[in-house]
Each structure stands twice: as structure tokens, then as C-alpha cells.
Amino acid sequence: MNSKLAIARMHAVIRRQHKALSTEDTYVFWLRRYIAAVQRMPAGLSSEQKLERFLTRLARDENLAASTQNQAFNAILYFYKEVLGKPLERVNALRATRPAHLRHAPSIQQTRALLQTVQDRGGYPTNLITRLLYGCGNNHGLPARRKPERAQSLG
């Protein structure tokens, strides 16, 4: 199948399924990039191997974010499954990883020091407002039995 016919069929299937226009644009974008990459690959590779090489190149050479690589992966899977009617089996490509998000919560001593530095200004109870705002957000994830003792320890 040539690239123009593949893209036209992709448009038709997406529109028949009433997908969002942004989804259509994104999937067609990734299909164009995939077709261009496949034309530079050896002809004897299976579809799974072609997709593996494409995704690996995205992760290794283009340093794409994990969510962007997943978007490309899903667009090509959609093309094979919905447009060509040939779902891919196993694709073992080098995948980008999401960075770990470490949560940092200030210690009790740091919190006390911060709350002590806030001064009332211009007749407004800024210190009280800060303590109320901090208390509302800080106790959200704590178990109910610890909330009263936590509030007393910050007093």
C-alpha cells in the first residue's frame, strides 16, 4: 500500500469512528513519520520489527518523552489493527521512561520556622491566614487519628 492510500484510509477510519480531530491529526502525523522510517528499513523485516526499530529510534536518537513515544506507539497500533485489520503481536522496543517524581514534604522543624517568619502586615492577619492555609493542605493525606496530634505539634 502506498503512503497516500494508507493516510487516506486512516482518515476515513478515524472519521467513521467519530474520533476527535486532534486525534486524527496526531495519528496521521505519526503514520507519516512511520511510513518515512519504514521506507529506509530493510524489506525483509516483519511489521513488529519495523515498529520496534521505529520506537527504539525515537527513544534513543530523538530523546522523546515517554508520553510522546506512547502516542506514536498507539497511533501505529491503531493503524495496524483498525485500518489494516492486522493487529500486531509483541513489540519489544526500547521505551522511554517517565522520570520519577519524588515528593518532598518539609519537616516539622522547617514548617515551624516558615510559620514563625510570616508576619502580620498592614493590619491583615497574614500569619493566621498562612497557618489556616497550611493546615488545610497539609492534613489532607494524613489518617484521621493523626490529625489532632499533628495540629497540636505545630501549635
What amino acid occupies position 77? L
Domain 3-83: CATH superfamily is Tyrosine recombinase, N-terminal domain (1.10.150.130)
DSSP classification of residue 146: G
DSSP-based three-state secondary structure for 11: helix
pTM of the model: 0.61
Could you give the CA distance from residue 125 to residue 103 in angstroms, rounded to a whole number?
A: 30
Quote the pLDDT of residue 94: 66
- Which triple of cell numbers denotes residue 65? 518523552
What residues does 121 pair with on adjacent strands?
124
> Residues 76, 78, 81, 84: what is their CA dihedral angle, to the nearest 10 degrees?
-70
pLDDT by position in tens, the chain (length 155): 688 999 999 999 999 999 999 999 999 999 999 999 999 999 889 888 898 889 888 888 887 888 888 899 899 999 989 999 988 888 777 666 666 777 777 788 888 888 888 888 888 888 888 888 777 765 544 444 444 555 455 55
What is 97-120 written as a DSSP string?
A: -PPP-------HHHHHHHHHH---
Quote the pLDDT of residue 147: 46
Quote the pLDDT of residue 33: 94
Quote the pLDDT of residue 38: 92
* Distance from chain centroid for Cα 114: 34
Domain with CATH 1.10.150.130 in the chain: 3-83
